[in-house]
Chains A and B, each alone.
Chain A
Amino acid sequence: MTPKRSEHIALGLMVSGAFLALAILFFIIAVIMIKGLPHITLRFLLDNPMDMGRAGGIFSTIVSTVYLLVVSLIIAIPLGVGTAIYLTEYTKEGLITKIIRFGTECLAGVPSIILGLFGFILLVIKLGFGWSVLSGGISLSIMILPVIIRTSEEAIKSVPASYRDINKVLGGTRWQGITRLVLPSAAPGILTGVILSVGRGIGETAVVIFTLGTSLRIPFSLFDSGRSMAVHFYLLAREGISMNNAYATAAVLVFSILFINILSYYLMHRFVARRR
């Protein structure tokens, strides 16, 4: 085989590979949107599910999802950003940072079902939180913690060293430097990480179904159970309760995920552009 020929074959393979991968993405989005969008109405979004989701809308599942995400972010953001600040501002590269980084990587690799098992037995049963926003929020926060740590660390690292020098020259303490100079200029990057983790949390099922539960009522307190959109979709589709509502829920889900990803991509871009 001549080099020219193999070049052509290789290029052909690569182009078709990239094309195939893109085609799969578009297929997934197109199927969900085509089958789901026609069933989405304002009433679908603002009515509570009736008859186990066969009729009515998905309002309570939207509320549950948002509530769950807020609780998990309240737990994960301070821990994640705090870890990132410690790694970048308070230590030099060494054993401790290595251990923390390795731990974070491992935590990111823990399968979600293990988090679900852990949350179900420890939080739901042993600690008696029951299926609740609290159990779900804690379990989910463990899942998104590595995402927030990683992105915040990148964001803080990219703050120019000169900022810290300025702080020193002005006689500010390290804490003042962090709160007045480093965090504000790293904020867009941190926000990107938060948005990304929201994207991951929205679609998560394995953790949420065992910790948040499947109750269709709107959760009011931290100890109320709820049903996230992803779990609702899973149950509707798997139990064959209503395919139309399943597709419509999936469309809302996929649409919000697309929106969130594009938003975070846009923010990241602006952030990077400003840095340059």
Chain B
Amino acid sequence: MSKLFSRLSRAILLSLLVALPLACNNSSPSNGKKKQASASIIIAGSTSVQPFAEKLAEIYMVKNPWAIINVQGGGSTAGVRAAQTGIANIGTSSRNLHPEEKNLYEIPIAYDGIAVIVNPGNPMKNLSTETLRKIYAGKILNWKKLGGVDHRITTITREEGSGTRGAFEELAMEKTEIDQGCIVEDSNGSVRELVGTDPYAIGYMSFGLVNAQVKAIALDNIMPSIEAMKKKRYRFFRPFLFLTRKKPAGLVLKFIQFVLSREGQDILVKEGLIPSAIIQGEKLKWLLQPSREKKS
């Protein structure tokens, strides 16, 4: 027993000795490079892009067993930061980049609509952008004003910094601010869950993730659909961006090529997104220029 314990205590001391230099050693920010040496990459960022990126990665890895692709959430802004700092090989964003973030290579992999959703039991079918704005600004608080039942509207928005919220503010709110009394949920899924269970709720979410739990409604008499968005009749859509710090190479490039290939784009279309090429109408080569060079 005592022998065992002297051995145990030695092991503990040993592990301490190992752990300490490990903790000190790594304070040098050098391990970004280590990850690229093995054929494994990290994709991180927008929670709206995440499910689609996971799907693509899953299929890509089945076809190329040597590749390891880790997909993370975090949020659009985290995606931008992750790409800038090199924590992720590919950062993802579901909103356009701010001017100060334009030092990255940005590749739009697809476009995604933003659908305004209500509970399936809600008879509402159409809203004008102006009415929608008033609801979110806290000017219209009751369904009665919209010809519905006499009940308070549960208005659900996304958190500050979310790409979906950023795009929604840009497209629907113009200069008005979203009321601070709105309920804030932090993902498409949780907005959908809440609208699906609360008969008086209204929310907005990624069109590609709308399912039977909720009902998408028309805006200014146009139902969201891929067709309507391709023709730019339904205005509520935004890009899904892949962001890299360096010019894509190796597995990063291969994966981006896969995503932009017909096969990759078909997967995204099947999931309810608008293919990148159709709106962009440009070639991959052009897309791989850094955005500041693109302008010239």
Contact size range, A: 35 or more
A214 touches B5 (CB 8 A): no
Find the A residue at minimum CB distance from B12.
A78
Scan residues 169-205 of chain B and give those whose CB is less than 8 A from a CB of chain A: 187-190, 192-193, 196
| Residues of A189-223 contacting chain B, CB below 8 A | 213-217, 223
> Could you tell me if B12 and A51 are in contact, using CB atoms closer than 8 angstroms?
no
Per a CB cutoff under 8 Å, which of A138, A187, A216 touches B54? A216
Chain B binding surface, main DSSP class: helix
User: Do B42 and A130 have beta carbons less than 8 Å apart?
Assistant: yes
Q: Which residues of chain B (235-272) have a CB below 8 Å from chain A?
A: none
Cα of A181 to Cα of B35 in the assembled complex, Å? 46
Q: Which of B21-29, B127-135, B149-157, B284-292 is found at the contact surface with chain A?
A: B21-29
Q: How far is the CA of A178 from the CA of B16 in the complex (A)?
A: 18
Smallest CB separation, B266 vs chain A (Å): 17
Q: Is A153 part of the contact surface with B, judged by Cβ < 8 Å?
A: no
Name the residue of chain A whose CB is nearest to the CB of B40. Answer: A224
The reply to whether the CB of A148 lies closer than 8 angstroms to some CB of chain B is no
Residue A139, interface by CB 8 Å = no
Is there a chain B Cβ closer than 8 Å to A96's Cβ?
no
A159 within 8 A of B: no
Residue of B nearest to A223 (CB): B31
B193 A215 Cβ-Cβ under 8 A: no
B85 at the interface (CB under 8 A from A): yes
Q: Once the chains bind, are B70 and A224 in contact (CB under 8 Å)?
A: yes
A82 CB, min distance to chain B CBs, angstroms: 8
Q: Which residues of B contact A130 (CB under 8 A)?
A: 31, 35, 42, 87-88
Using Cβ atoms and an 8 Å threshold, which residues of chain A touch B107?
Answer: none
| A51 pairs with B58, CB closer than 8 A | yes
- Among B73, B190, B213, the most chain A Cβ lie within 10 Å of the Cβ of B73
Is the CB of A94 closer than 8 A to any CB of chain B?
A: no
- A77 and B9 CA atoms in complex are apart in Å by 11
The answer to whether B51 touches A52 (Cβ under 8 A) is yes
CB distance A184 to B85 under 8 Å?
no
Min Cβ gap A86→B in Å is 14
The segment out of A35-43, A99-107, A234-242, A254-262 that lies at the interface is A234-242
Residues A215 and B72 in contact in the complex (CB < 8 Å), given A130-B42, A138-B23: yes
Closest to B73 in A: A214
Closest B residue to A128 by CB, please name it: B29
Interface presence of B15 (CB below 8 A): yes
A223-276 interface (Cβ within 8 A of B): 223-225, 238-241
Whether A240 contacts B213 by the Cβ 8 Å rule is yes
In the complex with contacts A51-B58, A238-B193, A239-B190, A128-B71 CB distance below 8 A: no
**Does A23 reach chain B (CB closer than 8 Å)?**
no
| A125 CA to B79 CA, complexed, in Å | 12
Q: Are B71 and A216 in contact (CB under 8 A)?
A: yes
Q: Which of A181, A214, A239 contacts B72 (CB 8 A)?
A: A214
Q: Does A69 contact B (CB under 8 A)?
A: no
Question: Considering the complex, which residues of chain B in the window 135-168 have a beta carbon less than 8 Å from any beta carbon of chain A?
Answer: none
CA distance A215 to B42 in the complex (A): 9
| Complex Cα gap A128–B42 (Å) | 13
> Which A residues are CB-close (under 8 A) to B19?
74-75, 78
Say whether B32 contacts A217, CB under 8 Å. Answer: no
CB–CB B85/A128 < 8 A: yes
Give which listed residue, B4, B13, B55, B70, contacts A78 with CB less than 8 A.
Answer: B13
Assess the A127–B29 pair: CB atoms within 8 A: yes
**Other-chain contact of A238, B32, B87, B190 (Cβ < 8 Å):** B190
Pick the contact of A225 from B6, B23, B70, B192 — CB < 8 Å?
A: B70
CB proximity of B164 to chain A, nearest CB, Å: 14
Q: Given A51-B58, A214-B73, A215-B72, does the pair A127, B189 have CB atoms closer than 8 Å?
A: no
Interface string of A115-144 (1 = CB under 8 A from B): 000000000110111110010001000000
| Chain B residues with CB under 8 A of A81 | 12
User: In angstroms, how far is the closest chain B Cβ from the Cβ of A182?
Assistant: 9
B5 interface neighbour in A77, A131, A179, Cβ under 8 Å: A179
CA distance A202 to B13 in the complex (A): 26
Assess whether A239 is in contact with B189, with CB atoms less than 8 Å apart.
yes
A215 adjacent to B87 (CB under 8 Å): no
Once bound together, how far apart are the Cα atoms of A239 and B70, in whole Å?
A: 19
Q: Footprint of A on B, CB under 8 Å? A: 1-2, 4-6, 8-9, 12-13, 15-16, 19, 23, 26-27, 29-32, 34-35, 42, 44, 51, 54-55, 58, 68, 70-73, 81, 85-88, 187-190, 192-193, 196, 213
A-B contacts, 16 listed (Cβ < 8 Å): A52-B51, A75-B19, A78-B12, A78-B19, A81-B12, A127-B26, A127-B27, A128-B26, A138-B23, A180-B2, A216-B54, A216-B71, A223-B31, A223-B35, A225-B70, A241-B189
